[in-house]
Amino acid sequence: MKKNWLALAGAGLLSLTISSTAFASPATVKSYVKFRSAPSTSSTVNETLKPGTAIDVQQKVNAYWLKVTVNGKTGYLSPAFIEYGQAPAPPTPLPSPPPEPAPSRASATAGKVIQHAKDLKGTTHYAYGVNQAPALMDCSAFTKYVFGQEGISLKWGTRYQKDAGAFVDRGGLQPGDLVFFRVGSSTEIGHVGIYLGDGQFIHNSPSFDGVGISSMTTGYWSTRYVTGRRVI
């Protein structure tokens, strides 16, 4: 009879041990707390747990101590420093935006050419058939001069520049492209400028008596566009 009682008691203790493990309660450390080797303030401190550390509460020893496991290690800590429930998952970081592509050499050169052209506002005057850069020029002498500042060689005259570089469709124009127009009643190309983007171009024109910016989408030049060339 005594042996049976001992067997039952042993089974009961085993059952309690299994139960306490199987039904461990997840919890989270809410403020810094010492994780000790025994339920006593004089016991060895295994480590100091940080807020947010996930633990499993195995057993309530008394009102002052809990038996817990942390990362597979068993120890003791005060229940005043924990809260039950799983630690919230850290927020998923937003993906970093892709880096801005570095400007190509062509676009950088185009920007410099356009700036050279803008710098001639108020300095250059228009005269048909004249190439006295930078003070007095016609439209093609103007484009020849500003592109030449960046080492790009153009012949003087729209009859030559209209065949320079590569053809560009109107819908594919980029800043720095040459744009060509007919003037007056002629059906031939008679004027050239430099495309700026957003339907605008800069040119040396008698209407400004020098360098100015005009629209290709409204007004006089909108119906006189002929072709575009890319020389950069």
139 catalytic? Reply is: yes
The residue from 33, 49, 66, 139 that is catalytic is: 139
Residue in the structure block whose two tokens are 């003087």: 156
Q: HSE on the CB side for 42, CA within 13 Å? A: 0
**In Å, how far from its chain's centre is CA 53?**
34
Q: Give CA angle at 141 (138, 144), nearest 5°.
A: 155
The residue from 36, 144, 162, 203 that is catalytic is: 203
Residue in the structure block whose two tokens are 């850290």: 90
- Residue 139 burial (CB count, 10 A): 23
What is d(CA 174, CA 193) in angstroms, rounded to the nearest whole number?
13
The residue from 125, 191, 229, 230 that is catalytic is: 191
What is d(CA 117, CA 121) in angstroms, rounded to the nearest whole number?
7
159 catalytic? Reply is: no
125 catalytic? Reply is: no
The residues that are catalytic are: 139, 191, 203
